[in-house]
Each structure stands twice: as C-alpha cells, then as structure tokens.
C-alpha cells in the first residue's frame, strides 16, 4: 500500500527531501498562502507545532499560488513573511502547484486518499465553495484541492486519515492531531 513515505518533495532551497525522513511521526500536511483570508491559520498551526513537536508531530507547509494569486512571493519571501509575522518554526517546502497537470504528486495522492467533501454549512462556506469552483474549473478533474489551508492528517504509518478544509475550526484539527499522538 502506498503511503506519504513514498514521495519526494523539494525543500524551500530546492533540495530533494524523501518524506520517509518523517516515518513514525504524525504529520499535518498543509497548502498555504501568505495573502489569504485563512493566513491567520499560521498562528494556531504554530501553537500546535510547539505544543506537540516533542511528541513526534510535524507540520509540513507547502505554499501554493493557484488560488487567486494569494502566494505571489518567492520561497525566501514567503518564509520570511511566515517567520516574522507568525514565528513559524515548522518545515516549509518549496512553493508548488496542487491542482492541474503540474500538481505535485504528493497532493494528488493526498486528495485521492481523502477527496473533497464540502466546505460545510452556512452562507460564508457556500460563498467560498462558489468562488473556489470558479477558480478551479480550469483544472477540471485535477482540481484536487479547493482552497488554501487545506490540511491532511497522516498517522505514524504514513496513511492519510483525515482531510480538513480551511473552514474547519482549528480546535477540531488540534483534537484530531492529539488523538493520533
């Protein structure tokens, strides 16, 4: 059975990183953006990272500019923004595409393992779904990720066990992570 450990990604300096380096850890893999309405998610993500990193928890941050151009900077600019504004210490990787023909294979795998099931109820969520659908229609069946700050929880065996859309309360994400630790 394929796991996240079968993938290689690039760090923000362009070096190849085999995700088997994270074997045995609980992972939260996130596509991010610096200019999004959900960018404040960096704060609870960093709090969670600091609280749980000594228990075998890692957050893997993958900036992406495919959603309304909300991550326009280069890898160094994005990293500086995150460390200065939010004090992030968790690993940040090279900016990638998560949708379309150029989608990073890791994100295609994650989304295939845990497909999109909706943003939830409410007017705000319905508005985001409409906007996301407009943004992603160019990707057709390869619109794997619907918006920035989609989070995938991976257990210690490298299996994708949950997907959290950006509209999910971060407390619920933290509870799910804690259950795996």
Q: How far apart are CA 155 and CA 14, in angstroms?
A: 26
Catalytic residue among 4, 26, 30, 36: 36
Give the DSSP per-residue string, the chain: ---GGG-EEEBTTS-EEEGGGGTTSEEEEEEE-SSSTTGGGHHHHHHHHHHHGGGTEEEEEEEB-TTTT---S-HHHHHHHHHHHH---S-BB--B--SSTT--HHHHHHHHHS------SSHHHHHHHHHHHHHHGGGGGG----STT-EEEE-TTS-EEEEE-TTS-HHHHHHHHHHH-
Give the CA distances from residue 119 to residues 9, 35, 116, 167, in Å, rounded to whole numbers and listed in that order: 28, 20, 8, 6
The reply to whether 36 belongs to the active site is yes
Give the active site residues: 36
């Amino acid at each position: 059975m394929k796991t996240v450990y079968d993938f290689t990604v690039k760090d923000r300096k362009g070096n190849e990183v085999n995700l088997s380096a994270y074997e045995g850890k609980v992972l939260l893999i996130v596509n991010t953006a610096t200019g999004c309405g959900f960018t404040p998610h960096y704060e609870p993500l960093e709090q969670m990272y600091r609280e749980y990193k000594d228990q075998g928890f890692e957050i893997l941050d993958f900036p992406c500019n495919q959603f309304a151009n909300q991550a326009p900077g280069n890898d160094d600019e994005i990293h500086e923004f995150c460390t200065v504004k939010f004090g992030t210490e968790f690993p940040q990787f090279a900016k990638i595409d998560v949708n379309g023909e150029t989608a990073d294979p890791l994100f295609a795998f994650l989304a295939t393992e845990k497909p999109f099931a909706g943003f939830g109820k409410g007017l705000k969520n319905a508005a985001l779904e409409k906007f996301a659908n407009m943004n992603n229609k160019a990707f057709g069946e390869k619109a794997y990720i619907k918006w920035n700050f989609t989070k995938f929880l991976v257990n210690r065996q490298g299996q994708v066990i949950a997907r959290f859309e950006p509209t999910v309360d971060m407390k619920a994400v933290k509870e799910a992570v804690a259950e795996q630790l």
